[in-house]
Amino acid sequence: NVSEIEITENGNIIKGYNGGEAYTDDGMSISANNFEYNKIKTLLVANENVKLNDQEQNLNITADEISYQKNKENIVARGNVTIIDIEKNILIKANEILYFKDLEKIIATGKVFLNDMNNNILIKTEKISYLKKISKIYTEGVTTAEVHSKYDFESQDVIFLEDKKELKSSKNTIIKDKNFSLYKLGSFVYEIENEF
């Protein structure tokens, strides 16, 4: 559903301009200024003011560009990417994300910021994998986390189990609290609710 349409290459390339929306059979919609759909590759590329709404998974994604590979159910979003998991109240910002719809898995890379608003946790790193179905988030590389605005964690390869409310890493970690205490650890498991 677009304002202007151009069909080329024997109907295999369809371009839409000046705003519109694309819909899938499973409740996903993408709105953007421009679209290009390649029928042979089953690839839709949307750019400029792109918004994706996945009603089935309760996810909203905004980005400069989103590519949707229909036959693989993969979505790649690039440039100023923001993902909101409405159900779990989690916000992720990154330079790029790869979303595997069937697996309910999101991989975010490049200056990643995660805000779990239910648990009051902020995480910053270079790469995060979010397994929505099992409520598991893990980072790769140097990671900082702020928990309840009381504790600052500096570590690597951190795992956050949202349902268990547990943050952990088997790597060297520095923890600072708001009373200026400093802890250096070889590894840690932090129970968020109990602050233990």
Q: For 95-128, how does the pLDDT look when each residue is reduced to its tens digit (9 = 90+)?
A: 999 999 889 999 999 999 999 998 899 999 999 9
Contact 69/42 with Cβ under 8 angstroms? yes
Q: Between these two residues, 53 and 178, which has the higher pLDDT value?
A: 53
Q: Which amino acid is at 180?
A: F
Predicted confidence band at 40 (pLDDT cuts at 50, 70, 90)? very high
pLDDT for residue 162: 87
Instruction: Measure the CA–CA gap between 46 and 52, rounded to whole angstroms.
Output: 10
* Amino acid making up residue 127: K
Task: With cut-offs at 50, 70 and 90, classify the pLDDT of residue 41.
Answer: very high
For residue 115, count CB atoms less than 10 angstroms from its CB and return exposed for 0-12, middle for 13-18, buried for 19 or more: middle
| 74 pLDDT tier (thresholds 50, 70, 90) | very high
| Residue 31: band (very low, low, confident or very high) from pLDDT cuts 50, 70, 90 | very high
Q: What's the angle, vertex CA 184, arms to CA 180 and CA 187, rounded to 5?
A: 130
Residue 1: its pLDDT value, please? 85
pLDDT at 24 over 90: no
Average pLDDT, whole number, for the chain? 93
**Mean pLDDT to the nearest integer, 70-89:** 93
Mean pLDDT of 149-163: 91
